[in-house]
Amino acid sequence: MTATRKVCWITGASSGIGATVAKALALQGHTVILSARGRPALEALAAEIREAGGIAEAVVADVTQHEEICKAAEQILSIHGRIDVLVANAGLNVGSRAWGVVSIADFDRLIQVNLSGVYYCIDAVLPGMRKHGGGQIINIASWAGKFASAKPGPAYTSAKTAIVALTASLNMSEYMNGIRACAISPGEVATPAMARRDPPVPQPVLDRMLQPEDVAAAVAFVVDAPARACINEIVLSPTWNAAFGAPAVKAAA
**Which residue in 119, 120, 156, 175 is the catalytic one?**
156
Is 156 in the active site? yes
**Distance separating alpha carbons of residues 7 and 175, to the nearest angstrom:** 20
Eight-state DSSP code of residue 192: G
- Going by C-beta distance under 8 Å and a sequence separation of 6 or more, which residues neighbour residue 8? 22, 25, 30, 31, 32, 33, 84, 85, 86, 87, 223
Which helix (H) or strand (E) covers residue 196, if one does?
none
Eight-state DSSP code of residue 157: H
Cα torsion 197, 201, 203, 206: sign: negative
Closest alpha carbon to 64 in 90, 38, 103, 34: 90
Query: 132: how many CB neighbours lie within 10 A of its CB?
Result: 15
* Nearest-5° Cα angle at 193, 10 to 39: 45
Strand intervals (E) in 74-208: 85-88, 135-140, 179-186
Q: Are 187 and 237 contacting, i.e. CB atoms less than 8 angstroms apart?
A: yes
User: What residues act catalytically?
Assistant: 156
